[in-house]
Amino acid sequence: MKHYFRLLRPSQWIKNVFVFAPLVFSKHLFDPPMFFAAFKGFIAFCIVSSAVYVFNDISDKDADAAHPLKKNRPIASGVVSIQAAVLMSVVLLGIASVVCLSLPSGFQAVIISYLILQILYSLGLKKIVILDVFIIAAGFMLRVLGGAEVIDVAISHWIILCTMFLSLFIALSKRRGEIMLFKHSDGISERKVLEEYDVHFLDNTIMITASGMAIAYALYTVADRTVAAFGSDSLIFTTIFVLFGIFRYLFLVMRKNMGENSVVMILKDMPMFIDLCLWFLSCVVIIYH
């Protein structure tokens, strides 16, 4: 059973916390009905994303088998058959459908859009240079939109911009990490799209998205709507944590040649993890004071 559990990629569920962003910044974090609704949305995204991961592992079986790390995945290594994986994916989508039945139609539309986009990505869009990272970014943005729809709140355009820059930053860093991983292992990637990228190009685009993210977040903290909504302009002080997080991530990506797995970087790098916790706590204190 552990191989089937690994197939779900539970470590990647942390990406779905983006669903909670509208809950936190709409000042409803401590509202039990809204929190429970957002949590159900989070569960739905976890189930659907796991179904997508299974489908992606099926379509990427040969490419993963040639990957220095991904060759150990259940399907690529052969410990889970394709037939069993297909059945598992169908069952997961069935469970997700049951969960979504009790959620707003707007959220259902968002999660269906996410599912379709990810399937198209697995079937071929991931092979188109530049578009591949934008689709990864779109997945994060749909999580945020889903979080707004599930609790029926309006979402700030600044939050959308911040999410877009952040997700592009992570996606581009992931591509750089993959290139460096193959370079250091003397392997040859089965992913043809990686041949279209090079480290110099990725470093430039990573810096652009990092700058955009920092500027968008800083402007959000001092926007008239933000100050009026929170009754304070103190959110600007949380920018220091955002900048530290960006600089630390850049250090890990460009100096330590990491970035291939953003979840591992954030959870295992103690300075990054502490900074993220401090940013969240400071935001909660300022917003809910």
Residue 158 confidence (pLDDT): 87
Across 225-231, average pLDDT: 90
DSSP state of 125: G
pLDDT digits (tens, 9 = 90+) for 106-147: 999 999 999 999 999 988 888 899 999 999 999 999 999 999
Q: How far apart are CA 240 and CA 83, in angstroms?
A: 50
Q: Could you tell me if 58 and 86 are in contact, meaning their C-beta atoms sit under 8 angstroms apart? A: yes
For 227, phi and psi rounded to 5 degrees? Answer: -65, -40
Q: Residue 189 has what pLDDT?
A: 54
3-state helix, strand, coil in the chain (%, to 5): 80, 0, 20
pLDDT digits (tens, 9 = 90+) for 239-279: 999 999 999 999 999 988 877 778 888 888 999 999 999 99
- Greater pLDDT, 182 or 74: 74
Please classify residue 268 by burial: count the beta carbons closer than 10 Å to its beta carbon, then call 0-12 exposed, 13-18 middle and 19+ buried. exposed
188-223 pLDDT, tens digit each: 555 677 888 889 999 999 999 999 999 999 999 999
Q: What is the pLDDT of residue 71?
A: 78
What dotted CATH number matches 1-154?
1.10.357.140
Residue 57 has pLDDT above 90, yes or no: no
Predicted local distance difference test score (pLDDT) of residue 156: 83
pLDDT at 24 exceeding the cut of 90: yes
Provide, rounded to the nearest whole percent, the portion of the chain with pLDDT above 90: 62
Confidence of residue 185 (pLDDT cuts 50, 70, 90): low
Asked if residue 89 has pLDDT above 80, the reply is yes
CA angle 89, 163, 67 (to 5 degrees): 45
Q: Give the residue from 132, 169, 138 showing the smallest Cα distance to 253.
A: 169
pTM here is: 0.89
Give, rounded to a whole angstrom, the gap between the first and last alpha carbons of the chain.
46
Instruction: Taking residues 166-179, report their average pLDDT.
Output: 91
DSSP string for 35-70: HHHHHHHHHHHHHHHHHHHHHHHHHTHHHHHTSTTG
- Rounded to whole angstroms, the Cα distance separating 67 from 48 reads 25
- Better-predicted residue by pLDDT, 255 or 187: 255
Answer whether residue 98 shows pLDDT above 60: yes
